Chains A and B, each alone.
Chain A
């Protein structure tokens, strides 16, 4: 019963935010959003060519980031293992930028998404391979690799005269400005694949959370599970970073909210993480573009500014059972 209430209120909130995203902005609509379906005037162009892909992109990417956070925290058995902290995002950023800087591809192409996914996966594997198997070794190695890759990406940007390479601010803080119907259509399948892989490994993630040796006895091969999870994460993070840059804190915050609502079982957590992630990103983007209209605030600034205090409050309100586990 509680579950139904949570999901239905979440869905209603998501729909309301989606409608709001279509309705408000710099162009003041003269008629309702629904009456603009199939029309061809300035209002319709604004709603269907600009606001709709942006809102839909926020939902898809937000869902992907929420799921990615839950999977990352599960597979690395660390409540801090956010994709931006463990090198996945910076790997994806470098993968995208390197391809643009080399002139082999431009922003918003399949090649670009593919190279981001590949680079994200390779980075995660590299971090795993380099990290000492004790204490905070894994997280610290992730932070170090992240710093290296972000610096290389920044260097490439300052040296490359290629049009469309964007600024390091775009890649580092993220922005949904460049989303249009074709980019959203291109990244959506990748994020769907990532979400499907995440669901496929969710039951094994529960077993894995009992510990490496127990999971081995229960028929789960930890090495293989980690590889699958990393591939899923790479699809989720690679596709979203290649289109909107890295957006901080959603992957960290959302699973913590969700665990408070439905507990730590991964399958339940993943679907609710997708919903909450979509709500949080849609809300953040709505604020980012309307708060100081006509100027837009870099999205990552806003997610950090709102997400970090929310996380602190959450942690203090109720020491999450998750943390006591570890």
Chain B
């Protein structure tokens, strides 16, 4: 009798602890929801074994239609389509041995690829290294895509991919959105400002990024007063970021959130952490899906 009561108690406790209701109200775009747009130009690339270490470059090579030549990738290119390709980095650090083991004829790097000693080793081993520009906003995507297409010798595929970026334009909505970068477990609480990256997406989709309009830095300390001043209608977060503060019920406990229209009506939209600021071929389909979610959230 007693053990049954205990079991019942434990079951109740488990149910309340793992109840999914805390997360149910949030619209989310997960990585699996956005498939990589792939172009088919019929061109034959110059290289046969490519290791893509530049942030997000593996994704672009695949989108150009050449997934088959990829033999190694960076940690940021995480979408399911590339799962089979080995990652040649650990903790954001390139492993020279792992790269050499793939016998690449081309390695794509960017200014953030580190450590320099690993790159020196690759150079000494006569591996061809090509520097790719980084993309931190919507406007940077085309330059990054066209550079990779040129290096591969497939300009037609490059142009087809770039055409998707220029097609993005949406009418203004008047909805005020704030992008919050939070990592509750590391006590990082920031509001996106001008140059956060999210501002370029929000503006292209017809929203007002209140952080970008009123703050100074790309990322600013999240304080109660700052949020109250901005009065966002909707909050945009990364999926794991929201989970790290305990979901939406934890989010509204952060100072100032409950005092904004977004917090009062629990209007929150999340996007997968590796997707939101990836600025590659998946950005356009992601941004197109984001627009109706934010508009729907604003009506909550």
Residues of chain A at the chain B interface (Cβ within 8 Å): 25-27, 42, 45-46, 49-51, 103, 106-108, 160-167, 169-170, 177-178, 180, 289, 294-296
Number of interface residues of B (CB under 8 A): 26
Classify the interface of chain A: helix, strand, loop or mixed. Answer: loop
Identify which of B29-37, B54-62, B92-100, B252-260 touches chain A. B252-260
Is B250 interfacial (CB 8 A cutoff)?
Answer: yes
Identify which of B120-128, B150-158, B222-230 touches chain A. B222-230
Q: Which residues of B contact A106 (CB under 8 A)?
A: 246, 250
Classify the interface of chain B: helix, strand, loop or mixed. Answer: helix
Counting chain B CB atoms within 10 Å of each CB, which of A46, A51, A107, A164 scores highest?
A164
Counting chain B CB atoms within 10 Å of each CB, which of A107, A178, A294 scores highest?
A294
Are A180 and B255 closer than 8 Å at their CB atoms? yes
Is B90 interfacial (CB 8 A cutoff)?
Answer: no
Q: Which residues of A contact B258 (CB under 8 A)?
A: 49
**How distant is the Cα of A26 from the Cα of B227 in the complex, in angstroms?**
10
Q: Which residues of A contact B167 (CB under 8 A)?
A: none
Q: List the count of A-B residue pairs having beta carbons below 8 Å apart.
A: 71
Q: Which residue of A lies closest to B260 (CB)?
A: A45
Given A49-B258, A49-B259, A162-B185, 15 other A-B contacts at CB below 8 A?
A25-B225, A42-B229, A46-B229, A50-B255, A50-B259, A163-B185, A164-B245, A164-B250, A165-B185, A166-B187, A167-B186, A167-B187, A177-B255, A289-B223, A296-B221
Give 29 A-B contacts (CB < 8 Å), ordered by A residue: A25-B225, A26-B229, A27-B225, A27-B228, A27-B229, A42-B231, A45-B228, A46-B225, A46-B228, A49-B224, A50-B224, A50-B255, A50-B256, A106-B250, A108-B253, A163-B184, A163-B244, A163-B250, A164-B245, A164-B246, A164-B250, A165-B184, A167-B187, A169-B187, A177-B223, A177-B255, A289-B223, A294-B221, A296-B223
Q: Which residue of A lies closest to B247 (CB)?
A: A163
Within 8 A of A (CB), among B15-33: 17
Q: Which residues of B contact A167 (CB under 8 A)?
A: 186-187
